[in-house]
Amino acid sequence: MKVIAFNGSPRKKWNTALLLEKALEGATAAGAETELIHLYDLNYKGCISCFACKKKEGRSYGKCAVADDLKPVFNKVEGADALIFGSPVYIGDVTGEMRSFLERLVFQYLTYTDPPDSMFKRQIKMGFIYTMGVTEEGMKQIGYPRFMDMISMFMTRTLGPLEALCSFDTLQFDDYSKYVATRFDPEQKAKRRREVFPMDCQKAYDMGQRLIKG
Ligand SMILES: Cc1cc2nc3c(=O)[nH]c(=O)nc-3n(C[C@H](O)[C@H](O)[C@H](O)COP(=O)(O)O)c2cc1C
């Protein structure tokens, strides 16, 4: 079993990356082979609307035709048994890098038929880890579940079932005293990091195991 995780944060050792590492630890413990790909290390853009993936009898029908750093990544996806995505919330959505990646990943498989179908010819299990500065109540009030549901809908339609995990009220800086950030209470942030983040890590680990064991 092969599991690939995609880090949509520019930071390689912070909240999102740590949770993805935990999820992969869980998958490894369940017997999977794993790989973590940092999207910010790759050169690519979002979908360029060339429609080569939809062209009748086209050479690239059902496959993204753009030859950039995502091409080998998409080849790996074809052979994977589970995928785990991780993104911080940036301005009320996933990061630009994750967004561009999802456009390219999903759109190549989505058919413009009625009803819509998928050219990805099997079902793959997926997890999505979102990290964010707001509290759980805050995220509901602002309405983040809407964009998360939209991502789930498109991904389920094309690739397979997806479960989501949210880590709220994350620690953003090592030292809050160095930044203008009076909205946050550094002690409360440190306490949450000590007491709640480890539980989020455990949830990520369990998710990784579940994706392999079922
Ligand atoms: C550019 C930028 C925009 C952000 N926008 C939001 C936001 O809209 N809502 C939110 O809850 N947190 C927001 N945050 C906070 C991050 O989502 C949060 O700190 C996240 O856990 C960072 O992930 P990382 O530690 O893996 O980089 C933002 C952070 C940055 C840098």
Report the mean per-residue pLDDT for the chain. 97
Q: Which of 172, 196, 200 to mutate to test the pocket of ligand 1 (most atoms within 8 A of CB)?
A: 172
Among protein residues, the one whose CA lies closest to atom 16 of ligand 1: 132
Among protein residues, the one whose CA lies closest to atom 23 of ligand 1: 88
**Predicted TM-score (pTM) above 0.85:** yes
> What is the pLDDT, as a whole number, of residue 139?
96
How far apart are the CA of 119 and the centre of ligand 1, in A?
A: 34
Task: Report helix angle 145-158 to 96-107, nearest 10.
Answer: 30
> What is the pLDDT, as a whole number, of residue 214?
80
Task: Give me the residues paired with residue 165 across strands.
Answer: 129
* pLDDT tens by residue, 76-95: 999 999 999 999 999 999 99
> What is the pLDDT, as a whole number, of residue 106?
98
Q: Using the atom order of ligand 1, give the atom closest to the CA of residue 134.
A: 11
Q: Which of 11, 20, 87, 91 to mutate to test the pocket of ligand 1 (most atoms within 8 A of CB)?
A: 91
* pLDDT tens by residue, 153-172: 999 999 999 999 999 999 99
> What is the pLDDT, as a whole number, of residue 162?
98
Q: Which of 89, 97, 99, 134 to mutate to test the pocket of ligand 1 (most atoms within 8 A of CB)?
A: 89
- Where in 44-124 does DSSP place strands (E)? 82-90, 93-94
List all residues whose CB is within 6 A of at least one atom of ligand 1.
9, 11, 14-17, 88-92, 131-134, 170, 172
Among protein residues, the one whose CA lies closest to atom 1 of ligand 1: 90
Phi first, then psi: give them for residue 45, nearest 5 degrees.
-125, 175
> What is the pLDDT, as a whole number, of residue 115?
93
The answer to whether the bond into 115 is cis (omega within 30° of 0) is yes
Task: Give the residue from 133, 131, 98, 112 showing the smallest Cα distance to 203.
Answer: 131
How far apart are the CA of 184 and the centre of ligand 1, in A?
A: 13
Q: Using the atom order of ligand 1, give the atom closest to the CA of residue 132.
A: 17
> What is the pLDDT, as a whole number, of residue 212?
96
CA atoms of 151 and 55, how far apart (whole Å): 25
Taking 50 as the pLDDT cut, the residues of the chain under it are none
